[in-house]
C-alpha cells in the first residue's frame, strides 16, 4: 500500500523529499488500524507527516497497545489500565508518536466531521465477514462524498487494500470468470466507484501473502485513486 500510494503521490507533482525532511507538512489518514505498523513507518520516514488513524473496534486498538507495542499516548479514550509509564513513548518512539493520532470511531462519522485536508489516505478496513464494507465504496453514500472533500484537490491520493481472486481486467470481459470468481467482480465495482469520485483509478496486483486465511493463494487487489487531473 505504501509503495502504491507514494508512487501515485509523487506522480502528482507532490514533493516527497520535502515532506521526508520536514520542510513541508504532509497530512495522512489511515482508515483501519491493525497493529499500527503502517502509520508508525510513515511517521518515522516523513518528518513532516501528521497521521490520523481511525479504527472502529476498541479491542483492536487495545490489542495494538498491549500486545503489539503501539504507543499508548496517540490513542484517544484509552482506559488508564492500558497506559504505559508516562515517559515510555518518548523513550521508545523518540517523538514519532507526537505526530500520530488514533481515533476509536466509525470511519463514516469521522470523515463527515473531520476538518483536515489530506495529502494521502490509506484504507484497509474489513468487517467480521472479511468483506470491504459497502458504505466505504457506495458512490452515493455519505462516506465517499465526504472523503472527496477531504483529499487535496490536485495531488490528493487514496489507496484501498482489496482482496481479489482474479485479475480484474481478465474477469471484466469473461462471464465464466465473473461467475466463478466473485471477488474479482467486487474489485471492479469498487474501482468504478472510486473512479467516479476521484477521476483517476488504477490497480496493482501483489502476491497473496496472508497465511491466516482459508482461501487459496491469490493476488490481492490494490487501488489508488487521485483527485484532480
Grid look-up 502509520 returns 39
| Per-residue pLDDT at 84 exceeds 60 | no
Q: What pLDDT, on the 0 to 100 scale, is given for residue 28? A: 97
Strands 220-226 and 157-163: antiparallel
Instruction: Give pLDDT tens digits for 96-124.
Output: 878 999 999 999 999 999 999 999 999 99
Report the pLDDT value the prediction gives residue 168, as an integer from 0 to 100.
42
* CA-angle at 204, arms to 216 and 184, nearest 5°: 45
| Cα–Cα distance measured from residue 179 to residue 9, given in angstroms and rounded to the nearest whole number | 35
Distance CA 150, CA 169 (A): 30
Q: How many CA atoms lie within 13 A of 144 on its CB side?
A: 20
pLDDT at 147: 95
Provide the pLDDT for residue 104. 93
Indicate the domain borders of the chain. 2-226
The rounded percent of the chain whose pLDDT value lies above 90 is 45
> In this model, does residue 1 exceed pLDDT 80?
yes
- 164 band by pLDDT with thresholds 50, 70 and 90: low
Check whether domain 2-226 has CATH 3.40.50.150, yes or no? yes
Q: Taking residues 131-141, what's their average pLDDT?
A: 92
Look at residue 146 and tell me whether its pLDDT is greater than 90: yes
- What is residue 143's predicted lDDT score, i.e. its pLDDT? 96
**Closest to 143 in 3D by CA, of 164, 125, 168, 163:** 125
The closest of 169, 160, 220, 167 to 194, measured between CA atoms, is: 160
The predicted model scores a pTM of 0.80
Count CB atoms within 10 A of the CB of residue 98: 15
Is 77's pLDDT higher than 80?
Answer: no
Distance, in Å, from the CA atom of 225 to the CA atom of 204, rounded to the nearest integer, reads 12
Lowest mean pLDDT among 57-71, 107-121, 132-146, 162-176: 162-176
Does residue 2 have a pLDDT over 60? yes
User: Percentage of residues in the chain with pLDDT exceeding 70?
Assistant: 73
Q: Average pLDDT in the 73-79 region?
A: 68
When the pLDDT of each residue in the chain is averaged and rounded to a whole number, the result is 79
pLDDT tens digits along 191-227: 889 999 988 887 777 766 554 433 333 333 444 555 4
Amino acid at each position: 500500500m505504501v509503495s502504491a500510494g507514494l508512487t501515485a503521490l509523487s506522480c502528482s507533482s507532490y514533493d516527497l523529499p520535502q515532506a521526508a525532511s520536514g520542510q513541508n507538512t504532509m497530512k495522512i489518514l489511515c482508515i483501519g488500524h491493525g497493529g499500527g505498523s503502517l502509520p508508525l513507518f510513515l511517521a518515522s520516514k516523513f518528518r513532516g507527516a501528521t497521521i490520523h488513524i481511525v479504527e472502529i473496534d476498541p479491542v483492536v486498538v487495545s490489542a495494538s497497545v498491549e500486545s503489539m507495542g503501539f504507543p499508548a499516548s496517540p490513542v484517544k479514550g484509552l482506559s488508564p489500565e492500558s497506559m504505559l509509564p508516562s515517559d515510555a513513548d518518548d523513550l521508545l518512539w523518540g517523538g514519532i508518536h507526537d505526530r500520530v493520532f488514533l481515533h476509536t470511531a466509525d470511519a463514516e462519522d469521522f470523515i463527515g466531521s473531520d476538518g483536515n485536508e489530506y495529502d494521502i489516505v490509506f484504507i484497509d478496513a474489513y468487517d467480521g465477514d472479511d468483506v470491504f464494507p459497502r458504505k466505504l465504496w457506495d458512490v452515493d453514500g455519505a462516506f465517499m462524498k465526504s472523503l472527496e472533500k477531504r483529499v487535496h484537490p490536485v495531488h490528493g491520493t487514496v489507496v484501498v487494500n482489496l482482496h481479489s481472486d482474479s485479475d480484474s481486467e481478465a474477469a471484466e470481459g469473461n462471464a465464466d470468470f465473473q461467475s466463478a470468481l466473485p471477488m474479482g467482480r467486487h474489485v471492479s465495482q469498487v474501482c468504478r466507484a472510486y473512479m467516479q469520485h476521484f477521476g483517476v483509478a488504477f490497480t496493482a496486483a501483489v502476491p497473496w501473502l496472508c497465511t491466516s486465511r482459508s482461501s487459496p493463494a491469490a493476488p490481492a487487489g490494490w487501488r489508488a485513486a487521485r483527485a484532480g487531473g
